[in-house]
Structure 1
Protein backbone atom coordinates (compact mmCIF):
# COMPACT_ATOMS: atom_id res chain seq x y z
CA UNK A 1 0.00 0.00 0.00
CA UNK A 2 1.43 3.38 -1.02
CA UNK A 3 1.80 5.88 1.82
CA UNK A 4 2.58 9.59 2.06
CA UNK A 5 4.30 11.54 4.81
CA UNK A 6 2.26 14.53 5.96
CA UNK A 7 2.87 16.61 9.08
CA UNK A 8 5.31 13.98 10.33
CA UNK A 9 2.94 11.02 9.88
CA UNK A 10 2.86 8.28 7.29
CA UNK A 11 -0.68 7.79 6.03
CA UNK A 12 -2.32 5.79 3.27
CA UNK A 13 -2.16 7.69 -0.02
CA UNK A 14 -5.91 7.18 -0.47
CA UNK A 15 -8.07 9.24 1.86
CA UNK A 16 -11.77 10.04 2.03
CA UNK A 17 -13.47 13.21 0.79
CA UNK A 18 -16.86 14.22 2.19
CA UNK A 19 -18.08 17.04 -0.05
CA UNK A 20 -21.87 16.67 -0.58
CA UNK A 21 -22.14 14.14 2.25
CA UNK A 22 -24.45 14.70 5.21
CA UNK A 23 -27.00 16.67 3.19
CA UNK A 24 -29.82 14.11 3.11
CA UNK A 25 -31.25 12.16 6.04
CA UNK A 26 -32.24 9.22 3.84
CA UNK A 27 -28.61 8.57 2.84
CA UNK A 28 -27.09 9.15 6.28
CA UNK A 29 -26.67 5.52 7.33
CA UNK A 30 -25.15 4.50 4.01
CA UNK A 31 -22.71 7.43 4.16
CA UNK A 32 -21.68 6.53 7.70
CA UNK A 33 -21.16 2.93 6.60
CA UNK A 34 -19.06 4.11 3.66
CA UNK A 35 -16.76 6.12 5.94
CA UNK A 36 -16.45 3.22 8.37
CA UNK A 37 -15.75 0.82 5.52
CA UNK A 38 -12.91 3.11 4.44
CA UNK A 39 -11.44 3.27 7.93
CA UNK A 40 -11.58 -0.51 8.30
CA UNK A 41 -9.90 -0.88 4.91
CA UNK A 42 -6.99 1.29 6.07
CA UNK A 43 -7.98 4.88 5.30
CA UNK A 44 -6.69 7.40 7.84
CA UNK A 45 -7.17 10.77 6.13
CA UNK A 46 -10.75 12.04 6.28
CA UNK A 47 -11.32 15.47 4.78
CA UNK A 48 -14.25 17.76 5.52
CA UNK A 49 -14.98 21.48 5.88
CA UNK A 50 -17.26 23.85 7.73
CA UNK A 51 -18.68 24.85 4.35
CA UNK A 52 -19.83 21.34 3.42
CA UNK A 53 -23.55 21.29 4.13
CA UNK A 54 -23.05 24.20 6.54
CA UNK A 55 -21.46 21.81 9.03
CA UNK A 56 -23.59 18.74 8.30
CA UNK A 57 -20.64 16.92 6.75
CA UNK A 58 -18.58 17.44 9.90
CA UNK A 59 -21.44 16.13 12.01
CA UNK A 60 -21.70 13.04 9.81
CA UNK A 61 -17.95 12.41 10.08
CA UNK A 62 -18.13 12.89 13.84
CA UNK A 63 -20.77 10.19 14.14
CA UNK A 64 -18.99 7.84 11.74
CA UNK A 65 -15.66 7.91 13.61
CA UNK A 66 -17.07 7.32 17.10
CA UNK A 67 -16.18 3.59 17.25
CA UNK A 68 -12.54 4.17 16.30
CA UNK A 69 -9.43 5.30 18.12
CA UNK A 70 -8.98 8.99 17.42
CA UNK A 71 -5.20 8.71 17.20
CA UNK A 72 -5.47 6.25 14.32
CA UNK A 73 -7.19 8.84 12.14
CA UNK A 74 -5.93 11.97 10.38
CA UNK A 75 -8.83 14.44 10.44
CA UNK A 76 -8.76 17.51 8.19
CA UNK A 77 -11.25 20.35 8.14
CA UNK A 78 -11.24 23.73 6.43
CA UNK A 79 -12.09 27.26 7.47
CA UNK A 80 -13.94 29.60 5.13
CA UNK A 81 -11.96 32.66 3.99
CA UNK A 82 -14.51 34.95 5.66
CA UNK A 83 -13.75 33.23 8.98
CA UNK A 84 -9.97 33.14 8.60
CA UNK A 85 -9.22 36.23 10.71
CA UNK A 86 -7.67 36.15 14.19
CA UNK A 87 -11.03 37.12 15.61
CA UNK A 88 -13.15 34.53 13.81
CA UNK A 89 -10.89 31.55 13.11
CA UNK A 90 -10.89 30.28 16.69
CA UNK A 91 -14.69 30.39 16.77
CA UNK A 92 -14.96 28.47 13.51
CA UNK A 93 -12.45 25.91 14.73
CA UNK A 94 -14.28 25.38 18.02
CA UNK A 95 -17.55 24.88 16.12
CA UNK A 96 -15.91 22.36 13.80
CA UNK A 97 -14.39 20.47 16.71
CA UNK A 98 -17.77 20.31 18.43
CA UNK A 99 -19.48 18.97 15.32
CA UNK A 100 -16.73 16.40 14.82
CA UNK A 101 -16.81 15.34 18.48
CA UNK A 102 -13.06 15.75 18.94
CA UNK A 103 -10.77 18.12 20.79
CA UNK A 104 -8.22 18.52 17.99
CA UNK A 105 -7.72 18.36 14.23
CA UNK A 106 -4.70 16.75 12.65
CA UNK A 107 -4.76 19.49 10.04
CA UNK A 108 -6.74 22.68 9.50
CA UNK A 109 -6.79 24.33 6.07
CA UNK A 110 -7.66 27.75 4.70
CA UNK A 111 -10.31 26.73 2.16
CA UNK A 112 -9.34 29.39 -0.39
CA UNK A 113 -7.97 32.92 -0.29
CA UNK A 114 -10.32 35.73 0.66
CA UNK A 115 -9.96 39.30 1.90
CA UNK A 116 -8.18 38.43 5.16
CA UNK A 117 -4.41 38.85 4.76
CA UNK A 118 -2.57 35.54 4.59
CA UNK A 119 -0.24 36.79 7.30
CA UNK A 120 -3.16 37.18 9.70
CA UNK A 121 -4.54 33.74 8.89
CA UNK A 122 -1.16 32.10 9.41
CA UNK A 123 -0.78 33.84 12.75
CA UNK A 124 -4.25 32.65 13.80
CA UNK A 125 -3.46 29.09 12.71
CA UNK A 126 -0.20 29.10 14.64
CA UNK A 127 -2.03 30.29 17.76
CA UNK A 128 -4.43 27.37 17.55
CA UNK A 129 -1.54 24.98 17.02
CA UNK A 130 0.13 26.30 20.16
CA UNK A 131 -3.13 25.69 22.05
CA UNK A 132 -3.17 22.08 20.83
CA UNK A 133 -6.45 22.41 18.95
CA UNK A 134 -4.73 21.64 15.66
CA UNK A 135 -1.59 19.59 15.13
CA UNK A 136 -0.75 21.19 11.78
CA UNK A 137 -2.15 23.51 9.17
CA UNK A 138 -2.17 23.96 5.44
CA UNK A 139 -4.00 25.70 2.62
CA UNK A 140 -6.32 24.88 -0.25
CA UNK A 141 -6.72 26.29 -3.75
CA UNK A 142 -3.64 28.53 -3.56
CA UNK A 143 -1.47 29.09 -6.63
CA UNK A 144 2.30 29.42 -6.89
CA UNK A 145 2.56 33.12 -6.09
CA UNK A 146 0.33 32.65 -3.03
CA UNK A 147 2.39 29.73 -1.74
CA UNK A 148 5.47 31.91 -2.21
CA UNK A 149 3.75 34.57 -0.13
CA UNK A 150 2.97 32.03 2.59
CA UNK A 151 6.55 30.75 2.69
CA UNK A 152 7.91 34.29 3.01
CA UNK A 153 6.08 34.71 6.33
CA UNK A 154 7.83 34.10 9.64
CA UNK A 155 5.85 30.90 10.29
CA UNK A 156 5.13 30.14 6.64
CA UNK A 157 7.40 27.11 6.55
CA UNK A 158 4.87 25.42 8.84
CA UNK A 159 2.50 25.04 5.88
CA UNK A 160 2.02 21.29 5.60
CA UNK A 161 -0.17 20.88 2.51
CA UNK A 162 -2.00 22.45 -0.40
CA UNK A 163 -5.33 20.88 -1.38
CA UNK A 164 -5.99 21.25 -5.09
CA UNK A 165 -8.15 20.01 -7.93
CA UNK A 166 -6.03 17.37 -9.66
CA UNK A 167 -6.77 14.42 -11.88
CA UNK A 168 -5.78 12.95 -15.26
CA UNK A 169 -7.91 15.50 -17.09
CA UNK A 170 -6.88 18.48 -14.93
CA UNK A 171 -3.09 18.67 -14.86
CA UNK A 172 -2.50 22.42 -14.93
CA UNK A 173 -0.70 22.50 -11.57
CA UNK A 174 2.10 20.36 -13.03
CA UNK A 175 3.57 23.30 -14.93
CA UNK A 176 4.93 25.30 -11.98
CA UNK A 177 2.84 24.92 -8.81
CA UNK A 178 3.42 21.22 -8.19
CA UNK A 179 7.19 21.39 -8.84
CA UNK A 180 7.40 24.37 -6.46
CA UNK A 181 5.52 22.43 -3.78
CA UNK A 182 7.85 19.46 -4.24
CA UNK A 183 10.84 21.77 -3.89
CA UNK A 184 9.52 22.90 -0.51
CA UNK A 185 8.25 19.49 0.66
CA UNK A 186 4.59 20.52 0.67
CA UNK A 187 2.36 17.48 0.06
CA UNK A 188 -0.51 17.67 -2.41
CA UNK A 189 -4.00 16.68 -1.31
CA UNK A 190 -5.87 15.99 -4.54
CA UNK A 191 -9.61 16.58 -4.53
CA UNK A 192 -11.90 15.21 -7.27
CA UNK A 193 -9.09 12.79 -8.25
CA UNK A 194 -11.39 10.84 -10.55
CA UNK A 195 -13.25 13.98 -11.65
CA UNK A 196 -16.99 13.41 -11.95
CA UNK A 197 -17.19 9.91 -13.35
CA UNK A 198 -16.30 10.03 -17.03
CA UNK A 199 -15.71 13.77 -17.25
CA UNK A 200 -11.96 13.54 -17.92
CA UNK A 201 -12.82 14.07 -21.55
CA UNK A 202 -12.21 11.97 -24.63
CA UNK A 203 -14.30 9.16 -23.13
CA UNK A 204 -11.76 8.07 -20.51
CA UNK A 205 -13.71 4.98 -19.48
CA UNK A 206 -14.01 3.94 -23.14
CA UNK A 207 -10.39 4.45 -24.17
CA UNK A 208 -9.07 1.11 -25.42
CA UNK A 209 -5.59 1.88 -24.09
CA UNK A 210 -6.98 2.69 -20.64
CA UNK A 211 -9.21 -0.39 -20.57
CA UNK A 212 -6.31 -2.64 -21.57
CA UNK A 213 -4.08 -1.04 -18.95
CA UNK A 214 -6.69 -1.56 -16.23
CA UNK A 215 -7.05 -5.20 -17.24
CA UNK A 216 -3.29 -5.63 -16.99
CA UNK A 217 -3.40 -4.45 -13.36
CA UNK A 218 -6.59 -6.40 -12.66
CA UNK A 219 -8.28 -3.13 -11.77
CA UNK A 220 -11.03 -0.91 -13.10
CA UNK A 221 -10.41 2.38 -14.89
CA UNK A 222 -11.20 4.45 -11.78
CA UNK A 223 -8.63 2.57 -9.71
CA UNK A 224 -6.18 3.25 -12.52
CA UNK A 225 -7.00 6.98 -12.39
CA UNK A 226 -6.40 7.02 -8.63
CA UNK A 227 -3.14 5.10 -8.98
CA UNK A 228 -2.00 7.68 -11.54
CA UNK A 229 -2.93 10.52 -9.19
CA UNK A 230 -0.81 9.18 -6.30
CA UNK A 231 2.04 7.93 -8.48
CA UNK A 232 4.70 10.31 -7.13
CA UNK A 233 4.52 9.24 -3.47
CA UNK A 234 3.78 12.81 -2.33
CA UNK A 235 0.08 13.00 -3.12
CA UNK A 236 -2.94 12.01 -1.04
CA UNK A 237 -6.06 11.50 -3.16
CA UNK A 238 -9.40 12.05 -1.42
CA UNK A 239 -12.13 10.53 -3.59
CA UNK A 240 -15.69 10.80 -2.28
CA UNK A 241 -18.09 7.88 -2.36
CA UNK A 242 -21.16 6.84 -0.42
CA UNK A 243 -20.91 3.30 -1.77
CA UNK A 244 -18.94 0.96 0.54
CA UNK A 245 -17.94 -1.28 -2.38
CA UNK A 246 -16.54 1.71 -4.26
CA UNK A 247 -14.66 2.80 -1.14
CA UNK A 248 -12.97 -0.61 -0.85
CA UNK A 249 -12.10 -0.42 -4.53
CA UNK A 250 -10.59 3.05 -4.06
CA UNK A 251 -8.32 1.78 -1.30
CA UNK A 252 -7.00 -0.99 -3.55
CA UNK A 253 -5.71 1.67 -5.94
CA UNK A 254 -2.88 2.22 -3.44
CA UNK A 255 -1.48 -1.19 -4.40
CA UNK A 256 -1.08 -0.35 -8.12
CA UNK A 257 2.38 0.75 -9.29
CA UNK A 258 2.19 2.07 -12.84
CA UNK A 259 5.18 1.48 -15.11
CA UNK A 260 7.00 4.31 -16.86
CA UNK A 261 5.72 2.98 -20.16
CA UNK A 262 2.12 3.16 -18.94
CA UNK A 263 2.63 6.68 -17.62
CA UNK A 264 3.94 7.75 -21.03
CA UNK A 265 0.88 6.25 -22.71
CA UNK A 266 -1.38 8.23 -20.39
CA UNK A 267 0.65 11.37 -21.18
CA UNK A 268 -0.07 10.85 -24.86
CA UNK A 269 -3.81 10.75 -24.20
CA UNK A 270 -3.86 13.49 -21.54
CA UNK A 271 -0.77 15.66 -22.09
CA UNK A 272 1.14 17.57 -19.44
CA UNK A 273 0.63 21.36 -19.51
CA UNK A 274 3.02 23.27 -21.75
CA UNK A 275 2.38 26.68 -20.19
CA UNK A 276 1.06 28.31 -17.05
CA UNK A 277 -2.67 27.77 -16.65
CA UNK A 278 -5.28 29.49 -14.48
CA UNK A 279 -5.67 27.54 -11.23
CA UNK A 280 -8.71 25.29 -11.64
CA UNK A 281 -11.20 25.07 -8.79
CA UNK A 282 -14.62 23.56 -8.23
Structure 2
Protein backbone atom coordinates (compact mmCIF):
# COMPACT_ATOMS: atom_id res chain seq x y z
CA UNK A 1 0.00 0.00 0.00
CA UNK A 2 1.33 3.42 -0.97
CA UNK A 3 1.94 5.78 1.94
CA UNK A 4 2.00 9.56 2.02
CA UNK A 5 2.75 12.40 4.43
CA UNK A 6 -0.08 13.44 6.73
CA UNK A 7 0.50 17.13 7.25
CA UNK A 8 3.06 17.75 10.02
CA UNK A 9 2.64 14.23 11.47
CA UNK A 10 6.06 12.50 11.48
CA UNK A 11 4.66 9.35 9.93
CA UNK A 12 3.48 8.38 6.47
CA UNK A 13 -0.11 7.15 6.16
CA UNK A 14 -1.84 4.68 3.82
CA UNK A 15 -3.18 6.60 0.82
CA UNK A 16 -6.37 4.49 0.91
CA UNK A 17 -7.74 3.90 4.37
CA UNK A 18 -10.99 2.68 5.85
CA UNK A 19 -14.06 4.72 6.73
CA UNK A 20 -16.59 3.45 9.26
CA UNK A 21 -19.73 5.59 8.93
CA UNK A 22 -22.71 3.16 9.14
CA UNK A 23 -20.39 0.19 9.67
CA UNK A 24 -22.40 -0.61 12.80
CA UNK A 25 -25.43 -1.29 10.58
CA UNK A 26 -23.67 -4.34 9.14
CA UNK A 27 -23.47 -7.85 10.56
CA UNK A 28 -20.89 -7.28 13.30
CA UNK A 29 -18.61 -10.30 12.61
CA UNK A 30 -18.55 -9.29 8.93
CA UNK A 31 -17.75 -5.68 9.80
CA UNK A 32 -14.89 -6.76 12.07
CA UNK A 33 -13.56 -9.20 9.47
CA UNK A 34 -13.70 -6.48 6.82
CA UNK A 35 -11.64 -4.03 8.86
CA UNK A 36 -9.11 -6.74 9.70
CA UNK A 37 -8.83 -7.72 6.03
CA UNK A 38 -8.16 -4.09 5.25
CA UNK A 39 -5.35 -4.05 7.78
CA UNK A 40 -3.90 -7.17 6.15
CA UNK A 41 -3.84 -5.25 2.86
CA UNK A 42 -2.08 -2.24 4.34
CA UNK A 43 -5.16 -0.04 4.82
CA UNK A 44 -4.01 0.94 8.28
CA UNK A 45 -5.62 4.40 8.37
CA UNK A 46 -8.98 3.84 10.10
CA UNK A 47 -11.36 6.73 10.55
CA UNK A 48 -14.31 6.83 12.92
CA UNK A 49 -16.18 9.29 15.12
CA UNK A 50 -18.35 9.63 18.18
CA UNK A 51 -21.31 10.47 15.90
CA UNK A 52 -21.11 7.09 14.17
CA UNK A 53 -23.26 5.10 16.57
CA UNK A 54 -21.47 1.92 17.64
CA UNK A 55 -18.76 2.21 14.99
CA UNK A 56 -16.06 2.93 17.57
CA UNK A 57 -16.84 -0.30 19.43
CA UNK A 58 -16.66 -2.25 16.15
CA UNK A 59 -13.29 -0.66 15.39
CA UNK A 60 -12.09 -1.41 18.91
CA UNK A 61 -12.87 -5.08 18.43
CA UNK A 62 -11.25 -5.16 14.99
CA UNK A 63 -7.97 -3.60 16.07
CA UNK A 64 -7.59 -5.55 19.30
CA UNK A 65 -4.03 -6.89 19.46
CA UNK A 66 -3.19 -4.93 16.26
CA UNK A 67 -3.22 -1.39 17.63
CA UNK A 68 0.41 -0.68 16.71
CA UNK A 69 -0.40 -1.18 13.01
CA UNK A 70 -3.18 1.38 12.95
CA UNK A 71 -3.27 5.12 12.35
CA UNK A 72 -6.48 5.69 14.30
CA UNK A 73 -8.62 8.80 13.82
CA UNK A 74 -11.81 9.82 15.59
CA UNK A 75 -13.87 13.01 15.82
CA UNK A 76 -15.54 15.18 18.42
CA UNK A 77 -19.00 16.56 17.72
CA UNK A 78 -19.09 20.37 17.57
CA UNK A 79 -21.74 20.46 20.31
CA UNK A 80 -19.26 18.75 22.65
CA UNK A 81 -16.22 20.79 21.62
CA UNK A 82 -15.73 23.08 24.60
CA UNK A 83 -12.32 22.84 26.22
CA UNK A 84 -13.50 20.39 28.88
CA UNK A 85 -16.06 18.75 26.60
CA UNK A 86 -13.41 17.93 24.01
CA UNK A 87 -11.33 16.14 26.62
CA UNK A 88 -14.33 14.24 27.98
CA UNK A 89 -15.50 13.23 24.49
CA UNK A 90 -12.05 11.91 23.61
CA UNK A 91 -11.89 9.86 26.78
CA UNK A 92 -15.27 8.30 25.94
CA UNK A 93 -14.02 7.48 22.44
CA UNK A 94 -10.85 5.92 23.82
CA UNK A 95 -12.93 3.70 26.10
CA UNK A 96 -15.12 2.54 23.21
CA UNK A 97 -12.06 1.95 21.02
CA UNK A 98 -10.26 0.11 23.85
CA UNK A 99 -7.07 2.07 23.34
CA UNK A 100 -5.04 4.64 25.26
CA UNK A 101 -4.51 7.06 22.38
CA UNK A 102 -5.69 8.38 19.04
CA UNK A 103 -3.21 9.12 16.30
CA UNK A 104 -5.35 12.07 15.21
CA UNK A 105 -8.46 13.73 16.65
CA UNK A 106 -10.70 15.95 14.55
CA UNK A 107 -13.37 18.58 15.09
CA UNK A 108 -16.18 17.10 12.98
CA UNK A 109 -17.35 20.43 11.51
CA UNK A 110 -17.30 24.09 12.54
CA UNK A 111 -19.61 24.60 15.49
CA UNK A 112 -20.79 26.99 18.19
CA UNK A 113 -17.78 26.92 20.49
CA UNK A 114 -14.68 29.08 19.99
CA UNK A 115 -11.94 27.25 18.10
CA UNK A 116 -9.46 28.47 20.70
CA UNK A 117 -11.30 26.43 23.34
CA UNK A 118 -11.54 23.30 21.19
CA UNK A 119 -7.89 23.50 20.25
CA UNK A 120 -6.91 24.07 23.88
CA UNK A 121 -8.69 20.80 24.63
CA UNK A 122 -6.79 19.13 21.81
CA UNK A 123 -3.51 20.44 23.15
CA UNK A 124 -4.30 19.21 26.65
CA UNK A 125 -5.02 15.76 25.23
CA UNK A 126 -1.82 15.87 23.21
CA UNK A 127 0.24 16.81 26.28
CA UNK A 128 -1.32 13.86 28.13
CA UNK A 129 -0.44 11.49 25.27
CA UNK A 130 -4.10 10.71 24.58
CA UNK A 131 -3.85 12.10 21.06
CA UNK A 132 -0.74 12.44 18.92
CA UNK A 133 -2.09 15.06 16.49
CA UNK A 134 -5.27 16.93 15.68
CA UNK A 135 -7.13 18.43 12.75
CA UNK A 136 -10.48 19.48 11.38
CA UNK A 137 -13.24 18.23 9.09
CA UNK A 138 -15.64 19.98 6.70
CA UNK A 139 -13.73 23.28 6.95
CA UNK A 140 -14.01 25.77 4.09
CA UNK A 141 -11.32 28.38 3.45
CA UNK A 142 -12.66 30.99 5.92
CA UNK A 143 -12.90 28.26 8.57
CA UNK A 144 -9.36 27.15 7.77
CA UNK A 145 -8.09 30.71 8.06
CA UNK A 146 -9.71 30.99 11.48
CA UNK A 147 -8.35 27.58 12.53
CA UNK A 148 -4.82 28.50 11.43
CA UNK A 149 -5.02 31.70 13.46
CA UNK A 150 -6.48 29.94 16.50
CA UNK A 151 -4.27 26.87 16.43
CA UNK A 152 -0.96 28.22 15.26
CA UNK A 153 1.35 27.26 12.44
CA UNK A 154 2.12 23.58 11.97
CA UNK A 155 -0.58 22.29 14.31
CA UNK A 156 -3.39 21.24 11.97
CA UNK A 157 -2.69 17.79 10.53
CA UNK A 158 -5.57 17.44 8.08
CA UNK A 159 -8.90 18.63 6.78
CA UNK A 160 -11.33 15.78 6.09
CA UNK A 161 -13.85 16.72 3.42
CA UNK A 162 -16.53 15.38 1.08
CA UNK A 163 -14.91 14.53 -2.25
CA UNK A 164 -16.05 12.27 -5.06
CA UNK A 165 -16.28 12.43 -8.84
CA UNK A 166 -19.59 14.27 -8.81
CA UNK A 167 -18.65 16.58 -5.93
CA UNK A 168 -15.29 18.25 -6.56
CA UNK A 169 -15.92 21.58 -4.82
CA UNK A 170 -12.76 21.30 -2.70
CA UNK A 171 -10.62 21.71 -5.81
CA UNK A 172 -11.61 25.38 -6.15
CA UNK A 173 -9.97 26.69 -2.98
CA UNK A 174 -9.91 24.23 -0.08
CA UNK A 175 -7.41 21.80 -1.61
CA UNK A 176 -5.02 24.55 -2.77
CA UNK A 177 -5.22 26.16 0.69
CA UNK A 178 -4.35 22.88 2.40
CA UNK A 179 -1.49 22.23 -0.01
CA UNK A 180 -0.09 25.71 0.55
CA UNK A 181 -0.16 25.21 4.33
CA UNK A 182 1.17 21.64 4.39
CA UNK A 183 -2.08 20.06 5.56
CA UNK A 184 -3.31 16.68 4.33
CA UNK A 185 -6.70 16.52 2.64
CA UNK A 186 -8.67 13.35 3.41
CA UNK A 187 -11.63 12.52 1.15
CA UNK A 188 -14.66 10.94 2.78
CA UNK A 189 -17.54 9.29 0.86
CA UNK A 190 -15.32 8.90 -2.24
CA UNK A 191 -18.05 6.97 -4.06
CA UNK A 192 -20.72 9.47 -3.11
CA UNK A 193 -23.48 8.48 -0.74
CA UNK A 194 -25.36 6.01 -2.88
CA UNK A 195 -24.75 8.15 -5.96
CA UNK A 196 -21.92 6.45 -7.85
CA UNK A 197 -22.47 6.86 -11.62
CA UNK A 198 -24.73 4.19 -13.07
CA UNK A 199 -23.61 1.87 -15.88
CA UNK A 200 -25.81 3.69 -18.41
CA UNK A 201 -24.07 7.05 -17.91
CA UNK A 202 -21.32 8.50 -20.11
CA UNK A 203 -19.11 9.00 -17.05
CA UNK A 204 -19.33 5.35 -16.10
CA UNK A 205 -18.47 4.35 -19.65
CA UNK A 206 -15.27 6.42 -19.45
CA UNK A 207 -14.35 4.80 -16.13
CA UNK A 208 -15.11 1.37 -17.57
CA UNK A 209 -12.96 1.87 -20.65
CA UNK A 210 -10.02 3.02 -18.55
CA UNK A 211 -10.58 0.17 -16.10
CA UNK A 212 -10.52 -2.38 -18.93
CA UNK A 213 -7.10 -1.19 -20.06
CA UNK A 214 -5.72 -1.74 -16.55
CA UNK A 215 -7.55 -4.94 -15.64
CA UNK A 216 -9.36 -2.97 -12.95
CA UNK A 217 -12.89 -1.92 -11.99
CA UNK A 218 -14.64 1.41 -12.54
CA UNK A 219 -14.68 2.06 -8.79
CA UNK A 220 -10.95 1.44 -8.54
CA UNK A 221 -10.32 3.95 -11.32
CA UNK A 222 -12.54 6.51 -9.57
CA UNK A 223 -10.75 5.97 -6.28
CA UNK A 224 -7.35 6.39 -7.86
CA UNK A 225 -8.40 9.61 -9.56
CA UNK A 226 -9.36 11.06 -6.18
CA UNK A 227 -5.84 10.54 -4.82
CA UNK A 228 -4.01 11.72 -7.93
CA UNK A 229 -2.37 14.62 -6.06
CA UNK A 230 0.28 13.96 -3.38
CA UNK A 231 -1.65 15.75 -0.64
CA UNK A 232 -4.78 13.62 -1.06
CA UNK A 233 -5.81 10.52 0.88
CA UNK A 234 -9.17 8.76 1.04
CA UNK A 235 -11.19 6.59 3.41
CA UNK A 236 -13.83 4.50 1.59
CA UNK A 237 -16.09 2.29 3.67
CA UNK A 238 -16.38 -1.37 2.68
CA UNK A 239 -19.21 -3.79 3.36
CA UNK A 240 -17.27 -7.06 3.08
CA UNK A 241 -13.73 -8.45 2.96
CA UNK A 242 -14.10 -8.75 -0.83
CA UNK A 243 -15.18 -5.12 -1.08
CA UNK A 244 -12.25 -3.86 1.00
CA UNK A 245 -9.83 -5.86 -1.16
CA UNK A 246 -11.30 -4.17 -4.23
CA UNK A 247 -10.71 -0.76 -2.64
CA UNK A 248 -7.15 -1.62 -1.66
CA UNK A 249 -6.25 -2.66 -5.20
CA UNK A 250 -6.92 0.88 -6.43
CA UNK A 251 -3.68 2.04 -4.84
CA UNK A 252 -1.63 0.08 -7.38
CA UNK A 253 -3.25 1.64 -10.45
CA UNK A 254 -1.14 3.97 -12.56
CA UNK A 255 -3.48 5.87 -14.90
CA UNK A 256 -1.86 7.96 -17.60
CA UNK A 257 -2.16 11.74 -17.77
CA UNK A 258 -4.43 11.28 -20.78
CA UNK A 259 -6.69 8.95 -18.80
CA UNK A 260 -6.85 11.37 -15.90
CA UNK A 261 -7.78 14.11 -18.35
CA UNK A 262 -10.62 11.95 -19.71
CA UNK A 263 -11.99 11.46 -16.21
CA UNK A 264 -11.65 15.16 -15.50
CA UNK A 265 -13.67 15.95 -18.64
CA UNK A 266 -16.30 13.30 -17.89
CA UNK A 267 -16.91 14.68 -14.40
CA UNK A 268 -16.37 18.45 -14.75
CA UNK A 269 -15.50 20.52 -11.73
CA UNK A 270 -18.40 22.93 -12.01
CA UNK A 271 -18.67 26.35 -10.41
CA UNK A 272 -17.56 27.11 -6.87
CA UNK A 273 -20.49 26.77 -4.42
CA UNK A 274 -21.25 29.43 -1.85
CA UNK A 275 -20.76 26.89 0.94
CA UNK A 276 -18.57 23.81 1.08
CA UNK A 277 -20.79 20.71 0.64
CA UNK A 278 -20.79 18.16 3.44
CA UNK A 279 -22.72 15.09 4.54
* Corresponding residue number in structure 2 for 1:66: 64
Cα distance in 2, alignment partners of residues 85 and 242 from structure 1:
34
The one of 121, 126, 141 equivalent to 1:129 is 126
* Corresponding residue number in structure 2 for 1:159: 156
The one of 105, 108, 111 equivalent to 2:105 is 108
Secondary structure at the aligned position of 1:261 is classed as: helix
Cα displacement (A) at 1:140: 0.4
Cα displacement (A) at 1:235: 1.4
The one of 183, 189, 199 equivalent to 2:180 is 183
Cα displacement (A) at 1:206: 6.8
* Corresponding residue number in structure 2 for 1:44: 44
Cα distance in 2, alignment partners of residues 197 and 211 from structure 1:
18
TM-score (norm 2): 0.94
> C-alpha offsets along residues 163-209 of structure 1, whole Å, 9 cap, x if unaligned?
00001111011011110110001101110011135534795587322
Q: Is the 8 A contact 2:44 2:70 kept in 1?
A: yes
Q: How many residues align?
A: 277
Cα distance in 2, alignment partners of residues 200 and 120 from structure 1:
42
Cα distance in 2, alignment partners of residues 203 and 167 from structure 1:
19
Query: CA 1:277–1:259 in structure 2 vs 1: closer, same or farther (change >3 Å)?
Result: farther
Cα displacement (A) at 1:118: 1.0
Secondary structure at the aligned position of 1:266 is classed as: helix
Secondary structure at the aligned position of 1:51 is classed as: coil
Cα distance in 2, alignment partners of residues 241 and 276 from structure 1:
29
* Corresponding residue number in structure 2 for 1:172: 169
Q: Is the 8 A contact 1:2 1:233 kept in 2?
A: no
Where in structure 2 are there 5+ consecutive unaligned residues? none
The one of 85, 92, 95 equivalent to 1:95 is 92
Secondary structure at the aligned position of 2:46 is classed as: strand
Where in structure 1 are there 5+ consecutive unaligned residues? none
Cα displacement (A) at 1:277: 4.4
Query: CA 1:208–1:235 in structure 2 vs 1: closer, same or farther (change >3 Å)?
Result: same
* Corresponding residue number in structure 2 for 1:225: 222
Structure 1 residues 204-213 or 15-24, which shifts more?
Answer: 204-213
Q: Is the 8 A contact 2:78 2:108 kept in 1?
A: yes
Query: CA 1:204–1:84 in structure 2 vs 1: closer, same or farther (change >3 Å)?
Result: farther
